[in-house]
Chain A
Amino acid sequence: MVGPEIERFAKLDSPIHRWDPRWKIATLLALMLLLGLDVRGSGAAPPPAHIPPALAGLVLSAALVTLARIPWSHVLRRLRAPAILLAIIALVFALSYPGERLTLGWVGVSVDGLIAALLIAARALSIILLVFPAFGTAPFHSSAKALRSLRVPEALVQTVLFSYRYLFVYSVELRKMGAALRARGFRPRPDAHTLRTLGRGIGVLIVGTVERTERIQGAMRCRGFTASFPVSGDLTSKPSDALLSAAVLAGGLAVFAWKTAA
Chain B
Amino acid sequence: MTDPSGTPVLARDVSYVYPDGRPAINSVSLSLGPGDSLALVGPNGAGKTTLLHLVAGLVEPTGGEVLVFGRCFDGKGDAAIRRRLGFVFQQAEDQLFSPTLYDDVAFGPLNFGFPRDEVRARVEAALEQVGLSGCEERVPHHLSSGERRRAALATVLAYAPDVLLLDEPSNDLDHRGRKDLIRRLRDTHQSRIIATHDLELVLETCARVLVLDEGRVCAEGSAVDILCDSALLARHGLEPPLGIRGRTPDEVRKLLGK
Contacts and interface: CB of A to CB of B under 8 A. Distances in A.
B99 A140 contact: yes
B16 interface: no
Interface residues of A, number: 28
B160 interface: no
A139 B91 CA distance: 26
Interface in A198-238: 212, 215-216, 218-226, 230-233
B98 A141 contact: yes
Nearest to B100: A141
Interface in B47-100: 53, 56, 58, 79, 82-83, 85-87, 89, 91, 93-95, 97-100
Interface stretch (A114-122, A124-132, A161-169, A183-191): A161-169
Query: Which of A4, A220, A221, A222 neighbours the largest number of chain B CB atoms within 10 Å of its CB?
Result: A222
Given A224-B82, A232-B119, A219 B87 contact: yes
B139 A4 contact: yes
Given A4-B139, A224-B79, A232-B106, A219 B111 contact: no
Contact of B82 (A164, A223, A233): A223
B178 interface: no
B110 A222 contact: no
Contact of A230 (B85, B97, B107): B107
B103 interface: yes
B18 interface: no
B141 A165 contact: yes
B111 A230 contact: yes
Contacts of A144: 99
Contacts of B103: 141, 232
A141 B136 CA distance: 13
Given A165-B99, A212-B94, 12 more contacts: A139-B99, A161-B99, A162-B97, A216-B97, A219-B89, A222-B85, A222-B87, A223-B155, A224-B82, A224-B83, A232-B103, A233-B102
Interface of A: 1, 4, 139-141, 144, 161-162, 164-165, 168-169, 212, 215-216, 218-226, 230-233
